Structure 1
Amino acid sequence: MEQTWRWFGPADAVQLHEIRQTGATGIVTALHDIPYGVVWSQEAIAERKAMIEAAGLRWSVVESLPVSEAIKLGDGDLEPLFANYRESLRNLAAQGVDCVCYNFMPVLDWTRTQLAVPLPGGGTALRFNAHEHAAFDCFMLQRPGAEAEHKPEVLARARAWFDAASESTKDALLATIMAGLPGSYQRYDVPGLRRVLDAYRGITRDDLRARLADFLRAVIPTAAEVGVRLCVHPDDPPRPLFGLPRVVSNEDDIAFLLDAVDVHENGLTLCTGSLGAGPTNDLPAIARRFAGRTHFVHLRNVTKDADGSFEEATHLGGDVDMVAVVTAILAEQGRRRENGDADWRIPFRPDHGHELLDDGQRKTHPGYPLIGRLRGLAELRGVMTAVASLRGYPV
C-alpha cells in the first residue's frame, strides 16, 4: 500500500521535509484557499504539485474537492456548480492527479466534543461525548424536537452538563464542534449555525440520498472520461447530527451510492474510524465487500461506549480489527496486480492520531499531530509487512 500523509498546504505546521522523514511517499492535500464551488485552475494545481515534488514526494490524493452546500440542498440551478466540479476534475487529470476524495456530509465535517482528552500514559485524544452533543443540540442550539432524538439517560446527563457549564465552557464546545472543518475557514456562532441548519429543515435522508445520486450522475462520466477515481468519505460519526441526515454511514449506504453509477471511477474512501464509530458496522466485512471499489484508505481506530460516545484509540487498539482490514486491502492489491492494473497499489494514510510528546507545542489541526501520526504510520507499516510476508501479498 502506498504510504501517504495528509498535509494542509504551506500554512501547515508540519512541513514537507518532515513528512518525508516519516517514510510516507505520497501527499494527501487540497487547495483549501479556493472557495467551494470555484474551479481549481491548472496553474494552481501545477504550483501545488511542483511544491510537493520539490520535496521528493508526490501528490497522491486530493482530499477534498468539496461539494458545494447548494448541491446537497438541491438549491437553485446546479448545473454551473456541476460544470465547475467537472472542470476541476479535468484540470486535475491534466496535471496527473487522478484520485479525489470528497464527502457528502451536510454543513459539518467530522464532529467531536473534546479535542484533548488526557490519556493514561500521557498525551491526549479526540473524543465524542453523547451527552455533550445532546447538550449542544437541545440546550445551546435549542433545536425544535431535538430532545426526542436523544436517549433519556443521555438527555439527563446533558441537562446536568449544561446547568453546570460556564459560558466559556459552552463557547469551547462550540469551537470544538467547528474544529471538524479542518480544511475550511468557515466557522459559525450559534445563531449562524441555526440559520444554516434551518435550510435543511424538512430534508429527509431519502432526499439527501437522491441529491448524492444526482451529483454522481453529473460528475462521474467526466471522471471516467479523464481517468480520475472519485472516492466518497463516510460520515463521521455515522449518524444524524443536529437534525441533519447523513447518507454514507453503513454498508447499505455504500452499496446504494456505488450502484447509483456503477463504474470503477465511482468509489469509496474506506475510513475505519468513521465507520468504526457505528456499533453495527463490521469493518472487515465492509472492507472485503467493497475492496474492488476502494480507491483510498484511512486507517484509525475508536473505542465505543454503550451510550454512543467514542474515543480515538491507538491505530492498533480500539474496536476495529485492523489486522483483518489490512489483510482484506492487501488481498485486493494482489488481485489488481495479477490483473495487470497500473494503479494496483492502494494509497492509505494514518488518520488522526494522539498528541504525544511535544506535539502540543505545534499548532496543528486537531487530530493531525506529527508524532502521533508517525506512531500510527509505523505501527500500520509493521502490520502490513507482517501480513504481506505471511500471505505472500504485495505491499
Structure 2
Amino acid sequence: MIPQGERYYSAFPLGAVLSMVPIALLQKAGLIDNFPGHVLAALIAGLCVYFFFQLATAFGADHSSHKSASLIRRILLALFPIFGTWTWCNLGFGGAWQIALGLALMCQTAALYFSLVRPSPFVAGAFFALAFGNRTELLITLPLYLYFLWRQPNGTIVNWKNFKRGFRENMPMLARFLSVPIILALLTAAYNFARFHSIFDFGYIHIPEVRDEPWYEHGLFSIDAIPWNMYTMLFQGFESISYFPYIQPNGFGCSIFLASPFLCLLFRQGGRYKVVAWVAIALLTLVLWCHGNPGSWQFSYRYAMVLLPWMFLLLTGNGPAKITVSETFLFAVSVAINAMATWQFLWTDQIQP
C-alpha cells in the first residue's frame, strides 16, 4: 500500500483493483477470510488451458490441406503455456503481482479467441480492457486486435479511398470493441489524478523505499535497464548444487529458453499470424526490457508471461498437423524443468531470497 497523507492507496492500476472487487465482496460478506491466491491461480490456469485449446483447435497447422491438428497435439499445445513455462511456478506463488500477470495472460488469450475464432468485438474488447487493466503495457497491442477484427470490402485493394469505405463499414465493430477499453482508460486516468494529481502516475514509484532502490536510479522505465533485462530473459543460467537434482534456478531469474526449451520451436517457418505475433512480441519485449527491475523474486522472467499468447499463435501454426517426436521430447523436458522449479520454490527451502 502507498501512504498518501492520511490515506493509503493501492499500487495496482484500476483494472487490477476492479478485478479483485468480487473477492473483496466475498471477504466483506464473511464467506472467505484470506486472499484466495492459490484458488485464483488454479482458476486462471484452467481458463487459460481452455482458451488455448480452442485456439489450437481452430488454428492448427497445415492450413493448405485443411487438416486440423491431432487431438494429442492440441492438448499438448494447450497445456504448454501453463505447465511447460515459468507460468506454473510464478502463478503458484499466488501473490497479488503474480495474479495480475496471470489475469493479463488469460484475458489476452480470451481476447484473441473472441477476435479470431468466434468474432465478438464487444466481448474481445472487454477481455482486452481487463488485460491492460492488469498490465498497462498491453495497450500497445490494441492495433493488432483491430487488425484481426477489421473487415476490408470484398475484392478491394487497400488504398486511401477503400480505407475510408472500410472504416465506415467497420465503425460498428470499432464502437463495440473500444467501448469498454475507452471507459476503463478514462476511469483509470481519473483514478490516477484523484490519487496522485497526474493521469499518468500509477503510483508504483510512491511505494515506500522503491524510489531509493538502486535499479530505479534512472526511473521506473529507462533504456539503461535494457542490458540487465535482456541478460536475465535470454542468457542467465541455472546454478549447480551438490545434491539432487544437482541444478537449481537462480531466484532472481533465468533464460526463458532454458526454463522452456519448447520455445525453440518458435523459429520454425510458417504460421498464419506469424508477422503479427512477432510484432507483438517485439513491441512488448522492448517495453518489458525498459523496466528498471527485471522481476525480482521469480522463476525465469515472470514479465514474459504476457508474451505467451502471441508465442502460442506462432507455435500452433508453424508445425505439422500431427505431433512429432521432437515436440514430444521438448514438451516433456519443459514440463520436467518447470515441475522441478515449482517444487524447489514452493515446497522446499532450497531457494531462498
What is the TM-score normalised by the length of structure 1?
0.27
Q: Which has the higher strand share?
A: 1
Q: Which has the higher helix share?
A: 2
What is the TM-score normalised by the length of structure 2?
0.29
